């Protein structure tokens, strides 16, 4: 609402004061909570000047202010409380403020708010300033003591419990922390408890707190937590450091989860699971997010960020760690493929459009808008590249040094790279470009075969991005293996280190011209531009020993086929059909891998590919092409599909294991194709017999895709109508499978239905996100998709700007399309910008997106 200023990395200065300790007292009340904050302060010796004291504060009603016990009247405006330098004592002093806030009226879900009768907080990135006056920046770390007064039975905060009685509880966190890691929860909650003993013998009480009735759906989250704690000890040598670890599930939450010290707060959809309510994908996500937030205890909390420009220091690293964990818990190959699919569909998309920015941005308006795929996913890929370059042993030495040198610090990317330099003796100045330059490099490959010498020549192009016209060559680790024409590997994986714009690598002593397997494991986040005949792709799909590149060969082939159909009306390639049939029926391959091969590239992905070819994507044609390929595949796979389905349709008791999930995924892929042949008969019976949510959703999805499933939708709603997180699937499915011309109308009907709680971020994201993800529906030439999304962004923005701004990225690809669509999209973005009282969050996004076209 108030106009925002741009913040620059280059302007960083340490804070004027040190906060030795903080004592907070909360007298909870829905409309009039009192917060008393007692800060022990002294001047920061790192600052030579003698500055005033400026505390952040937003939406606070100041009741009183005392300096060393004397009432004073500080200068207060909409964003801060300031005490002039000459009014401050020379030595240490105590500042005590009392403010009043109204958690019940807090719809933005930042700061202290209420969700279904329960109090909870979300302070990252700048929410603590909505609770009390404080230097709300991550480099100000302090010891927090908290007293909560409330009649609610469960009162939680960070650290260890120290004392409690009727209507109150006190907590003490011995670890200095920035305010963004503060948390408080109060409610009528039940615990699912367990205990853990750390490697050095420290006992820890573990609790997952949920609303009464949900206790029996916490077992998987608890199991994931225990495995995460053990894994971090075994792989990184990191132990937990408090007597208790609490997790709370809340229904109203802007993000997935939050790593507050000793008191993680989770969106309930990433905690609660039972076979009847959670899909295999839900199980996977719960495990990964529990791990992610737990891992932050060391990468984020013990070592935090100096300022928000360094966000990737904690997020990129923690995503990298949770990927490693998932790879160890499940199939590493399947996880890598899935992670790359996500990287391309979210981060490459972002990097290729108006919102492109470096992994470490140099300026921002609203920090909440920089929790992006680039900071997270590309931030994790950059660490993966570092690890490839320095090797596993080098990585381990560097991380040990990082924890040793920076424990207790608020650190920077420079600090992070320095430990790698010191631990390995490498110069990382060129590597650092990955942090400062945006855009996805494109890698071209040429090969020559000459008298037994095989040469690969790579050329890298680093495209311009908004605000960064000039780019420099990056360090690119390219993992390569070579196969001979029989399909045997003649050169096992090696890492080529590319540092120049154009560079050649020679291989000698080969008996025959090899087939190269390039960028194994997706060793760098680049687009590999390499023309290859379909036969070579099919050959690699059949023979590559690198699971990622095996899959990638089929993926590249499918993309080419889809683009050819959409652009030239080409027929479905028999080479692709044959290659896929061979994989589908190869029982020696992991079912999960086969299921991944059967999942065709998404329509947005093809639009991105076509755009990169310098052509204009037509969403309707891409949609038709994908359908045509699925239809042709169903015919090509023929009777074998029924056999495959029967083989996989066993009666084993349910387990969320990756192995069983893989079988279910392949079974459902087969069911989807079979439905094209039998009009949904088998899917209808599969729905009726479903023994897990994965099967239920899989069957319903197969039915909707062939225009059936109306009765099943009704019975699903009758069964799950009271579980909003389950009903999200019901809403999403209908929009995902709607015909392009109908999608906006379907979404409008669902979001506008009486009783639909669109103010809840999960509900809003489900419906508007599903419409945005229906590529042909969102980009329908009528403009109905664009209009509906803009209408609802404008409706949500005054209540919850953070979620409105995040969902607005639906529009980030608009410059790709034809003039008529661009005009429609521009009209909607301009309409958003013209709204009175538009939030700073949504304004920044709309302005950046519009600047592109
Ligand atoms: N620190 C974030 C949560 C967060 C993000 C708070 C943005 C405030 C603003 C947390 O660790 C996180 O990254 N959560 C992710 C899930 C994770 C598995 C990538 C999320 O919430 O999406
Ligand atoms: Zn995180």
pLDDT tens digits, residue range 67-117? 999 999 999 999 999 999 999 999 999 999 999 999 999 999 999 999 999
Q: Which two tokens stand for residue 494?
A: 């090696």
If you measure from the C-alpha of residue 528 to the centroid of ligand 1, how many angstroms do you get, rounded to a whole number?
Answer: 30
SS3 48: coil
- Note the helical H segments in 737-774: 743-751, 761-773
Residue 315 Cα: closest atom of ligand 1: 13
User: With contact defined as beta carbons under 8 Å apart, do 338 and 596 qualify?
Assistant: yes
| Mode of pairing for the β-strands spanning 304-305 and 489-498 | unpaired
Interval 219-240: pLDDT, tens = 999 999 999 999 999 999 999 9
What is d(CA 645, CA 671) in angstroms, rounded to the nearest whole number?
Answer: 7
293 is catalytic: yes
C-alpha–C-alpha distance, residues 788 and 831, integer Å: 12
215: alpha, beta or left? (left if phi > 0; alpha if psi -120 to 50): alpha
How far, in Å, CA of 13 to CA of 682, rounded? 65
| Cα–Cα nearest to 502, from 448, 458, 447 | 458
Question: What's the pLDDT band for 852 if we cut at 50, 70, 90?
Answer: confident
Measured from the CA of 368, which atom of ligand 1 is nearest? 9
- Residue 196 Cβ < 6 Å to ligand 1: no
- The rounded distance, in Å, linking the Cα atoms of 378 and 375 is 6
Query: Which residue, among 589, 669, 661, has the nearest Cα to 633 in the 3D structure?
Result: 669
CB 695 within 8 A of CB 648: no
**Ligand 1 in contact with 305 (CB < 6 A)?**
no
124 lines ligand 1 (CB under 6 A): yes
- Residue 398's H or E segment, with its range, is helix 379-406
Which stretches of 779-839 are DSSP H helices? 784-796, 801-807, 819-833
Q: Is the pLDDT of residue 565 over 90?
A: yes
CA 413 to ligand 1 centroid distance, Å: 19
- The verdict on the CB of residue 56 being under 6 Å from ligand 1 is no
Measured between alpha carbons, how far is 741 from 776 in angstroms, rounded to an integer? 8
| Res 1 pLDDT > 60 | no
Distances in Å between the Cα of 678 and the Cα atoms of 533, 585, 698 are 35, 20, 16
Catalytic residue among 110, 126, 287, 293: 293
N-terminal to C-terminal alpha carbon distance within the chain? 25
Tokens of 582: 């061979």
Examine the pLDDT at 603 and tell me if it is beyond 50.
yes
The tokens for 137 are 């920046």
Q: Is 315 in the pocket of ligand 1 (CB under 6 A)?
A: yes
Residue percentage of the chain with pLDDT more than 90: 99
Beta strands in 519-640 (DSSP E): 527-529
pLDDT for 4 equals 75
Give the Å distance between the CA of 107 and the centre of ligand 1: 19
> What letter would DSSP give residue 374?
I
Q: Rounded mean pLDDT of the chain? A: 98
CB 563 within 8 A of CB 602: no
Residue 320 CA to ligand 2 center (angstroms) comes to: 10
Residue with CA closest to ligand 1 atom 1: 258
User: What is the per-residue pLDDT across 297-348, written as a single tens digit (0 to 9) for each?
Assistant: 999 999 999 999 999 999 999 999 999 999 999 999 999 999 999 999 999 9
- Would you state the structure tokens that stand for residue 90, as one six-digit string? 């020379």
- 244-250 and 257-258 strand pairing: unpaired
pLDDT digits (tens, 9 = 90+) for 727-782: 999 999 999 999 999 999 999 999 999 999 999 999 999 999 999 999 999 999 99
pLDDT at 574 over 90: yes
Q: Can you tell me the mean pLDDT for 665-694?
A: 98
Cα 212 from chain centroid? Answer: 29
Contacts of 275 (CB under 8 A, 6+ apart): 654, 656, 691, 692, 693
With a cut of 90, say whether residue 547 has pLDDT above it: yes
pLDDT bucket at 790, cuts 50 / 70 / 90: very high
Distance of CA 817 from the midpoint of ligand 2 (Å): 33
Task: Return the bridge partners of 21, or none.
Answer: 40, 143
pLDDT at 658: 98
Q: Does the structure show a pLDDT above 60 at 2?
A: no
pLDDT of residue 3: 61
**Beta-sheet pairing, 527-529 with 442-450:** parallel
For the CA of 259, the closest atom of ligand 1 is 11
Q: Is 685 left (phi over 0), alpha (psi -120 to 50) or beta?
A: alpha
């Amino acid at each position: 609402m108030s106009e925002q200023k741009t913040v620059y990395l280059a302007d960083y200065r340490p804070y004027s004061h040190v906060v030795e300790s903080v004592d907070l007292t909360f007298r909870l009340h829905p409309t009039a909570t009192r917060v008393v904050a007692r800060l022990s302060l002294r001047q920061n010796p790192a600052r030579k000047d003698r500055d005033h004291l400026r505390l952040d504060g937003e939406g606070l009603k100041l009741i009183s202010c005392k300096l060393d016990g004397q009432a004073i009247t500080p200068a207060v405006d909409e964003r801060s409380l300031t005490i002039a330098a000459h009014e401050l004592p020379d030595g240490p002093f105590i500042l005590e403020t009392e403010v009043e806030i109204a958690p019940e009226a807090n719809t933005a879900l930042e700061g202290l708010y209420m969700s279904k009768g329960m109090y909870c907080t979300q302070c990252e990135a700048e929410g603590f300033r909505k609770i009390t006056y404080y230097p709300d920046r991550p480099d100000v770390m302090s010891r927090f003591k908290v007293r909560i007064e409330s009649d609610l039975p469960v009162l939680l905060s960070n650290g260890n419990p120290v004392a409690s009685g009727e209507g109150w509880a006190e907590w003490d966190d011995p670890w200095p922390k920035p305010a963004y890691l503060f948390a408080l929860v109060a409610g009528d909650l039940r615990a699912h408890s367990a205990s853990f003993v750390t490697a050095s013998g420290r006992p820890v009480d573990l609790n997952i707190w949920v609303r009464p009735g949900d206790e029996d759906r916490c077992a998987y989250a608890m199991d994931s937590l225990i495995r995460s704690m053990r894994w971090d000890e075994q792989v990184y040598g990191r132990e937990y450091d408090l007597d208790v670890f609490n997790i709370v599930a809340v229904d109203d939450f802007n993000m997935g989860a939050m790593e507050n010290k000793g008191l993680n707060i989770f969106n309930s959809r990433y905690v609660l699971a039972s076979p009847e309510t959670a899909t295999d994908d839900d199980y996977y996500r719960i495990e990964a997010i529990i791990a992610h937030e737990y891992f932050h205890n060391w990468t984020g909390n013990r070592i935090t960020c100096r300022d928000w420009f360094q966000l990737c220091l904690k997020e990129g690293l923690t995503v990298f760690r949770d990927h490693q964990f998932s790879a160890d818990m499940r199939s590493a190959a399947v996880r890598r493929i899935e992670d790359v699919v996500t990287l391309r569909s979210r981060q490459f998309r972002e990097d290729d459009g108006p919102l492109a920015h470096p992994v470490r941005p140099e300026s921002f308006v609203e920090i909440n808008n920089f929790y992006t795929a680039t900071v997270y996913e590309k931030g994790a890929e950059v660490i993966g590249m570092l690890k490839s370059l320095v090797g596993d042993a080098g990585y381990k030495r560097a991380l040990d040094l990082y924890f040793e040198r920076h424990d207790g610090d608020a650190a920077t990317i420079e600090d992070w790279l320095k430990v790698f330099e010191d631990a390995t003796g490498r110069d990382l100045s060129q590597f650092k470009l990955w942090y400062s330059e945006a855009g996805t490099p494109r890698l071209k490959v040429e090969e020559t075969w000459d008298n037994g010498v095989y040469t690969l020549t790579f050329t890298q192009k680093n495209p311009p991005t908004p605000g960064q016209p000039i780019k420099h060559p990056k360090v690119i680790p390219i993992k390569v293996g070579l196969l001979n024409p029989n399909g045997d590997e003649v050169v096992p994986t090696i890492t080529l280190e590319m540092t120049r714009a154009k560079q050649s690598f020679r291989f000698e002593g080969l008996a025959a011209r090899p087939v190269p397997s390039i960028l194994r494991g997706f060793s760098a986040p680049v687009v590999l531009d390499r023309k290859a005949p379909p036969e070579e792709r099919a050959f690699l799909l059949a023979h590559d020993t690198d699971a990622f590149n095996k899959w990638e060969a089929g993926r590249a082939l499918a993309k080419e086929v889809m683009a050819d159909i959409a652009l030239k009306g080409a027929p479905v390639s028999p080479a692709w059909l044959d290659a896929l049939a061979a994989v589908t029926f190869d029982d020696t391959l992991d079912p999960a891998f086969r299921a991944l091969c059967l999942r065709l590239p998404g329509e947005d992905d093809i639009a991105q590919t076509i755009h990169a070819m310098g052509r204009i994507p037509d969403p309707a044609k891409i949609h038709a092409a994908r359908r045509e390929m699925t239809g042709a595949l169903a015919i090509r796979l023929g009777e074998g599909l029924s056999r495959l389905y029967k083989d996989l349709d066993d009666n084993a008791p349910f387990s969320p294991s990756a192995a069983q999930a893989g079988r279910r995924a392949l079974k459902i892929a087969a069911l989807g194709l079979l439905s094209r042949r039998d009009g949904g008969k088998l899917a209808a019976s599969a729905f009726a017999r479903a023994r897990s949510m994965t099967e239920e959703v899989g069957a319903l999805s197969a039915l909707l895709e062939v225009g059936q499933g109306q009765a099943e939708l009704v019975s699903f709603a009758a069964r799950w109508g009271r579980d909003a997180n389950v009903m999200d699937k019901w809403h999403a499915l209908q929009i995902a499978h709607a015909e392009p011309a109908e999608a906006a109308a379907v979404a409008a009907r669902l979001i506008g239905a009486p009783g639909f709680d669109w103010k809840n971020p999960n509900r809003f994201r489900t419906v508007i996100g599903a419409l945005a993800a229906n590529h042909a529906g969102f980009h329908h030439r009528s403009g109905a998709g664009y209009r509906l999304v803009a209408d609802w962004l404008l409706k949500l923005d005054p209540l919850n700007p953070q979620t409105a701004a995040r969902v607005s990225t639906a529009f980030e690809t608009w410059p790709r399309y034809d003039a008529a669509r661009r005009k429609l999209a521009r009209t909607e973005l301009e309409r958003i910008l013209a709204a009175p009282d538009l939030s700073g969050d949504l304004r920044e996004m709309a302005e950046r997106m519009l600047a592109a076209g």
